[in-house]
Amino acid sequence: MILELGCGKGEYTVGLARIYPEKNFIGLDIKGARIWTGAKAAQDEGLTNVAFLRTRIDFISSFFARNEVDEIWITFPDPQEKRQRQKKRLSGAHFLNRYRAFLKDGGMVHLKTDNLQFYNDTLELVHFNNLPVEQNSTDVYNEGWNDEIVTIQTYYEKRFLAEGTKINYIRFRLPAGKEIRALTDDSE
C-alpha cells in the first residue's frame, strides 16, 4: 500500500495507480472537493487499485495498522516556512515519527517540492538522523530522470514548471525502531 499525503486533486495517486496496477494507492486530503477530481478520474478509468480518504494528516495513525504501508509520497505540500509553523511540516520529525507507526521497517518516503528551502531543511533533518537517502535532486527535470518522479505532474507542479521553477526531490528510508530527532527543540 502506498499513500499520497495532501494529495490535492489526486494526480499523483491516480498516476501511480495507472503505472503500477499490481499495487494499491490511497490519496489523503482534508478537502473533499479536491479529492473528488481524483476519485472521479479513477472511477471513470475503472481503476480498482486506488482510493481516497478525507481526513486531516494529524489523524493518519488511526487509519492504518503497523507495517501496513510500504511508501509515502508527499507532493508539493505547504512548506510551512514560518518558524512557529515548522512543526506542521509533513516531512518534519513530528510527522516522520507518526509515520513510523504504520510504515514498514525501512519504508520509503518521497518528497517532491518546488521550495528549495523546504527541500534543504528536509535533507538536513534526514542527514541529522542518519536516514538512508536513496535519491535526491534540486532539479529533477534537468537530470534526465525517466520514471514516475517526472512523468506524473500535479496541477501545481505544471504551474511551477511553466514559471521556470526547479523541482526538488528526495527519497529516503524510515527505519521502524528509530526515533526521529528534530534539529532543534524549537524548530520542530
pLDDT one-digit tens code per residue, 53-87: 999 998 998 999 999 999 999 999 887 766 555 67
Nearest alpha-carbon partner for 133 in 141, 143, 123: 123
Three-state secondary structure call for residue 14: helix
CA distance 110 to 90: 11
pLDDT of residue 107: 96
78 among known catalytic residues = yes
Q: What is the pLDDT of residues 113-169, one digit of tens each?
A: 999 999 999 999 999 999 999 999 999 999 888 888 888 999 889 999 999 999 999
What does the pLDDT look like over 36-55, one tens digit per residue? Answer: 999 999 999 999 999 999 99
Q: Where are the domains of the chain?
A: 2-174
The one catalytic residue in 29, 44, 58, 78 is 78
CATH code given to domain 2-174: 3.40.50.150
